[in-house]
Structures are given as C-alpha cells and as structure tokens.
Structure 1
Amino acid sequence: MTDSLAIVGAGAAGAGAAYALRDSDVDVTIFEKSRGVCGRAATRRKEGCRYDHGANYIKDADGRTTDLLSELGEDGLVDIEEPVWTFDAAGQLSEGDGDRDAHKWTWEDGITQLAKRLLAQTDVHVDQPTRIESVERGDHWHLTDTDGETHGPFDSLLLTPPAPQTAALLAESKWNDERLPALIEAVGAVSYRTIRTYVLDYGFELDVPYYALVNTDKNHAVGWLSREECKPGHVPDGETLLVVQMSPDWSTDHYDDPLDESAPTVAQMVAELLDDERLSDPEWVDDQGWRYALPDDGAVDDVIRSAEDERLYFAGDWVVGDARVHAALWNGIETGERIGESLRGD
C-alpha cells in the first residue's frame, strides 16, 4: 500500500523534502498558500526586469549544494561573479572578506527555479493557492483550509511555514496529545527579524566594482543593497536595478508605510550611501514586506522531534537556526529522508 504525506509550504524546505522522496513509494501532496513556489526565495517580473527580491542567491556552505544544483540542470544557472562589499553606520564602504564570495547561485529565470527544478524531479501534486488553517490527528492526519475544505487522510504531516505561523497552526489543531503544548511553546519561541524590501530601477548603469553591499555593524537603516544587473537575464542592458533590504528596526517601524511615501526616503538613503544623487530619483519602484524574514535562532530539537512517532515533522531554516536558503533546503531534504525511513520501517 502506498503511504501518503502532506507538506504545508512549497518553500525550499518543503520542495527539498519532496525531492528526497522522489524515488520512494510515498504519495506527496504540498499545500501552498501562494500562487508561486520557493517561499522567501522569490522572483518577480516588472517592466522587462526579473529580480530576486527576497533571498538574493543560494550559498554553498560545504560543496554539496553546488553538486545538487548542477544535477538539477546547469542550463540558466548563474554564479554571481562580482563581490559583496561591506559598509558601516557612517556609510563607509569597504571591500569584503572573501567568505561572502565563494558561490552565489541563482538562475537567469530567477531563484524560484530552485523549488521548480526540485519539484520537476518528482510526481508531487502542489495544491495552490490553498491556505491550511488547522490540522487534525485521528488514525491519520487531516487538514482543513480557510475555505472549510478538508484534505486527507495522510499518513504523515510535514509543516514548513515560518515558526510563528506553524505555532498558530498547531494552536488550532485537533490533536489530543500531551506533547502539543510543549511543541507550541518551542516553535512559538523562535524569534524573527522583519525585512521590508524596496526595488529601485534606473535608466543608466552604475560603474561600481561590487555586486552587493551589506551593513556589518547593524547600525544603518539600510541592511543590504544588491545589483540585479549582475545576474544575466535579469535586467536590460543599460539599466540598473537595486534590491534594497532595510534593517529589521527600520522595517518594523515602517512596515505599513505606503510605498509612494516611503520609497523616496529609501531612494535618498541609497543616493547618500553610494554618493550618487541620481539614485534619489528612480524610474519605478516596487516593494515586498517579509514580516517573518529571518529567524534569530532555532527551535529546541528534541522537542520538535518528539512527535515523529505520530508522524508529525517540521522543517525550515528556523528548525536549524540559520536564515539561509541552503539551510532550509538541506533541512528539508534530511527531514524527507527521515520520513521515508520511517514509512519504510527502517
């Protein structure tokens, strides 16, 4: 008999788990609340441009990520060559330390290719847009979405949304188990940094030697700035497209400010940081808020793995406490492998 698995979330972790089960006898369904995949590793198109406005690229911490991306197909794969520099609270720019410049992977079609290519290797059904509101455990797992529709039964359940959303989902669950309060507490204890991203387009090219700038002392309103034109296929020749991610404090304070009011302020900050007054007047702007962008730490491992005998699993960057795409990816893959072993009875 074929076993079944429900995965909530089609981000890097959820797609990674599905990929790990691609050759197993497991029927996998992913429920994704948005119309896209890959979560905060997001790509958007506008005015002839393509830009990665969440996670900017995928790092390779130990070599295995590069091998995996190559296996998924090297067509359109991009390793950003230009370096990442740093700046301080006073706006003083400095060359980077080299550690940020090992490999910086994305694709000509955008970073969402990560999840798309992982899922293309599987027979997974992605049900979207479907927002799961509650889960129930009886003999099997059942899921209910915000439209009141019930999905299931499933033998196993994997939850991959950001920790606050996962904790809220657990709080709405119908599962009579003494471990549930501890799970809610452990997952809910993971704190997050909020990031608001601004995208600024200009009808000229910047002549600078770096791909990106990162604020290392955490005392500038701008946290990160990168040039999408350094990625082949993203920006038309002769243009500059800046992805500007504001600091967590600034983002929290200005999260709901209207774009037409806040974008000029951000553009002026960018002009001052790069000492180029032309940057105060972009051709067009875009933005995206990420309320749960970057986890500060990880959940207590023995607690979140305590319900695996009930075939309840968790995966994501917040599980390992590392706010990186590759961390979410490999945690998802490793969790998927563990699910496969459990369903096989290994």
Structure 2
Amino acid sequence: MTSKLAVVGAGAAGAAAAYVLRDTPVDVTVFEKSRGVCGRAATRRKDECTYEYGANYLKADDDRVTELVTQTLPTEGLVDIDDPVYAFERDGDIGEGRDGDEHKWTYEAGITQLAKRLFAETDATVHNGVRVETLDREADGWRVHAADGTDHGRYDGLLLTPPAPQTADLLGEAAWDHDDCRDLRQTVASVPYRTVVSGMLHYPFELDVPWYAAVNTDKAHDIGWLAREECKAGHVPDGESLLLVQMNEGWSVANYDAHPDRLLSEIAQRTAHLLDDDRLTEPDWTDHQHWRYAQPEETVDRGALAHAADHDLYFAGDWVAEEPRLHAAVRNGLEVGQTVAEQL
C-alpha cells in the first residue's frame, strides 16, 4: 500500500529524505516557495561567473554523505577546492587556519547541483513557487494549503524542513488543536538564528593570496567570512576575482535595511581594509543577498521532537542535525527519510 508524504522545503535535507524514499512505497510531494532547490545552499550566475552566496561547499565530515556525493551520485563536474581556509580575529591579521587537507566539495555548475542530483534519482514531485501557509491536521493525515488559497490535498505524513523560525510559524498557523502542537512550536521557536548579509564583489584582476577563504574566529570583526569563488573550477574566468563577503551578525542586523548601494560600498570598504588593497573599494559589479535566517546558532533538542512522529509529523534540516552545516543537513535528511520509511 502506497503512503503519501508532503515535504515542505526543497533544501538539502528535504532532497536527501526524498532520495532515501525513492525505492519505498512512499509517494513524495515537495513544496518549495522559491524557483529553485537546495535552499540556503544557493547558486547564481552573472557575466560568465557562477557563485555560491549561502553555503559555500560540502565538507567531507561524514562517511555516508561522502560516499553519496563521490561514489553514488553522478560525479561529473564535482569540484574539490584545494586551497585552504585561513582565519583572522578582530585585529584583521589573516593567518593559517585549522582545516588542514579536508575536502571541500561543490560543483562546476554550483552547489545547487547537490539537491538537483538527489531529486533526479527519485520520482518525487517538486512544486516550485508554492508557499505553504496552512497545515490542517485531520483524523487520517495532513492537508496542505498554499498562501494563494490552493488546497494541495491530503497526505499520510508531513516533513517540515524550513529554518526553525519558519517551521514554528507553520505550526502556529496549523489547524491542530492539540497540546503537542503548542509544545512542538515552542521547542522549534527556541532555536536561535544568525542573520547574515552577503555581498558579492567582482574585479577584473585576480588576487595573489594563498587561501580560498578566511573566517573570523572570534566574531568580533564586521566581516565574518571572505571567500574567493575563483578557487572553484569552472566558476570564474581566468584572471578575474569574485569575492563572497558574509558580514557578521551585529553588522548584518544594524545594516539589514540599508540601501543596497550603501550596503555594498561599506562591504567593499571593509574588504579592502581587511586585505590592505585599495583596489577592492571599486568592484566592477556587485550582487547581494540578505539571509534573515542564515544559520542556527544551536540545534534543537531532538528528544523533544521525537513524539511528533506519533502524529505523522517529522522535521529535518541543519537545525535538527547535530551541527548546523550542509553535510549535517544532508545526513539528517537521510536519517529522517529512513525513519519515515519505517514508520509511515
């Protein structure tokens, strides 16, 4: 007998769960509010450049995920970033970091290939441009309603993968009058998130530095992360530089509503100062992204979510995993997919 599962969110965790369920009697339907997939592991293209402006790469920090990416899924265009990640503190002095020789994977076509390749192995139906707004708990399952009023039908199970604050909002709007709903909402809503403003700065020359990225380890600098997309094969034409600059929480919150021109000018000024290179104050093109819920500062108490399965309700994502990283979100999606297969 076939069961029906609704998945809210087509990010890495949702894609991984759908992948696990590909050979089971579970019919998966995914609802994604954006036009693409892979959530905050996001890719854009401009002027012959491909760049990640959310999660930058997938770490080789989990054997199951590593085997999935390097052996099971198609590996065409898989990129291993060779250059290291350096570190700096408040004083801005950039020195060698601690990542050693660990692998850092992305794809020539961009990190969104991760979710695209996972979904391609499944028969899951993915509805893009659908913002789920209301969830009705019925006697025999869940009913999904979109923001435009469309009733997308009944499902035997429901998997929620958006960032914790958005998941809490969905639970708050759910037509489910049960103490467990209130308890779950409070548990999910308690996960704190970091807000990040990202700026992309392009230059018609290449920087001469020995690192792929530099991370601020004490969170006391305005810049939290600075990465060179030209270190990823196939991302940036030879002789050019494209910097991804992700600002720390304090600066991002204070400048979140600033005009983009001022925002990017300030980011370029701070980048030039950090790298001691005045040329960087004048990029020849720019881009930006605001992430209200960029990364969870903590992960949820998974034990407090366990009883949700009694109501055919499941959760997955970096806020549910043991650590807030892309590889952990994939692993968590695989684990939750297996749980759904066993219980639904």
TM-score, with structure 2 as normaliser: 0.98
Match of 2:125 in 1: 125
Give yes or no for contact 1:299–1:318 (8 Å, CA) kept in 2: yes
Aligned amino acid, residue 53 of structure 2: H
Matches within 5 A, 1:83-98: 83-98=84-99
Q: Deviations over 1:120-139 (max 9, x none)?
A: 00000001110000101112
User: Is 1:113 aligned to 2:113, yes or no?
Assistant: yes
Match of 2:220 in 1: 219
Match of 1:341 in 2: 342
Q: Deviations over 1:48-92 (max 9, x none)?
A: 111001000011213322211021111100010000001111111
User: Is 1:306 aligned to 2:307, yes or no?
Assistant: yes
Matches within 5 A, 1:171-210: 171-210=172-211
How many residues are paired up?
342
Return the offset for 1:15: 0.4
Q: Which stretch of the first structure deviates more once superposed, 266-275 or 4-13?
A: 266-275
Aligned amino acid, residue 52 of structure 2: D
Instruction: Determine the C-alpha separation between the residues in 2 that align with 1:324 and 1:302.
Output: 20
Q: Deviations over 1:164-204 (max 9, x none)?
A: 00001000001132211110100000000001100000000
Return the offset for 1:206: 0.7
User: Is 1:44 aligned to 2:59, yes or no?
Assistant: no
Aligned amino acid, residue 264 of structure 2: A
Return the offset for 1:25: 1.2
Give yes or no for contact 2:77–2:107 (8 Å, CA) kept in 1: yes
Q: Could you say what secondary structure the match of 2:23 adopts? A: coil
Give yes or no for contact 1:222–1:246 (8 Å, CA) kept in 2: yes
Instruction: Determine the C-alpha separation between the residues in 2 that align with 1:298 and 1:91.
Output: 29
Instruction: Determine the C-alpha separation between the residues in 2 that align with 1:21 and 1:98.
Output: 34
Match of 2:293 in 1: 292
Match of 1:13 in 2: 13
Q: Could you say what secondary structure the match of 1:141 adopts? A: strand
Q: Could you say what secondary structure the match of 1:235 adopts? A: coil
Match of 1:78 in 2: 79
Aligned amino acid, residue 129 of structure 1: G
Q: Which stretch of the first structure deviates more once superposed, 297-306 or 47-56?
A: 297-306
Aligned amino acid, residue 320 of structure 1: A
Q: Could you say what secondary structure the match of 1:307 adopts? A: helix
Match of 2:323 in 1: 322
TM-score, with structure 1 as normaliser: 0.97
Instruction: Determine the C-alpha separation between the residues in 1 that align with 2:249 and 2:178.
Output: 37
Return the offset for 1:300: 1.9
Return the offset for 1:98: 3.1
Give yes or no for contact 2:17–2:334 (8 Å, CA) kept in 1: yes
Superposition RMSD in Å:
1.0
Instruction: Determine the C-alpha separation between the residues in 2 that align with 1:207 and 1:297.
Output: 36
Q: Could you say what secondary structure the match of 1:316 adopts? A: coil
Give yes or no for contact 2:42–2:54 (8 Å, CA) kept in 1: yes
Question: Structure 2: 5+ residue runs without aligned partners?
Answer: none
Instruction: Determine the C-alpha separation between the residues in 1 that align with 2:75 and 2:161.
Output: 27
Instruction: Determine the C-alpha separation between the residues in 1 that align with 2:161 and 2:312.
Output: 14
Return the offset for 1:339: 0.2
Q: Could you say what secondary structure the match of 2:307 adopts? A: coil
Instruction: Determine the C-alpha separation between the residues in 2 that align with 1:93 and 1:108.
Output: 28
Match of 1:241 in 2: 242
Give yes or no for contact 1:295–1:321 (8 Å, CA) kept in 2: no
Give yes or no for contact 2:42–2:55 (8 Å, CA) kept in 1: yes
Q: Could you say what secondary structure the match of 2:41 adopts? A: coil
Give yes or no for contact 1:296–1:321 (8 Å, CA) kept in 2: no
Q: Which stretch of the first structure deviates more once superposed, 243-252 or 173-182?
A: 173-182
Aligned amino acid, residue 97 of structure 1: R
Match of 1:3 in 2: 3
Give yes or no for contact 1:297–1:321 (8 Å, CA) kept in 2: no
Taking every aligned residue pair, what percent have the same amino acid on both sides?
56
Aligned amino acid, residue 16 of structure 1: A
Return the offset for 1:321: 5.0
Aligned amino acid, residue 4 of structure 1: K
Question: Structure 1: 5+ residue runs without aligned partners?
Answer: none
